[in-house]
Structure 1
Amino acid sequence: MTDSELRFAKRAIRRKKIFLTLSITSVIVGLSLALYYSWQLATQPGFAPGIHFVLVILVLLTARQNLRQYYYAKILEKLIA
């Protein structure tokens, strides 16, 4: 492993907790937005849900990617240690 690859791996390991925190936060925000937009859809007759639920999907996909980065950092930590 080269020096730059080792630095990259160590930086990812240091950011492991950040990835998990971002993932949990994104899930909470995504589900909250989904609830809010569902309430808007139920109470307002002219509410167009399309673009709003696309935003919810993007937030949840971000949470998934952050969780994946957390798992990769956890595996890197085991491999390097």
Structure 2
Amino acid sequence: MKRPGFTPATRKRKEKLMKKTLLFATGLVTIVLLGVVSAFAQTATPAPDREEIERSLATALAQGRMAARAQGPES
């Protein structure tokens, strides 16, 4: 006795669906892993310390590269 709904065409459709599902899952995992690696790389980059910021500001001021302070509307 044959099982209902289990023809070679049905098997082929199921295999095709499984391949698509596996491809989708692989792509989703890849995207998530890239996001995690990117976030980790951004947090792993150390922020400049205060002395480094002060040195760069002093250098910029000495060379006259700092923009003039923005003037607000006069009241």
TM-score over 0.5 for the alignment? Answer: no
TM-score range, shorter chain: 0.3 to 0.5
TM-score (norm 2): 0.45
Identify the structure with the greater helix proportion.
Answer: 1
TM-score (norm 1): 0.42
Larger radius of gyration: 2
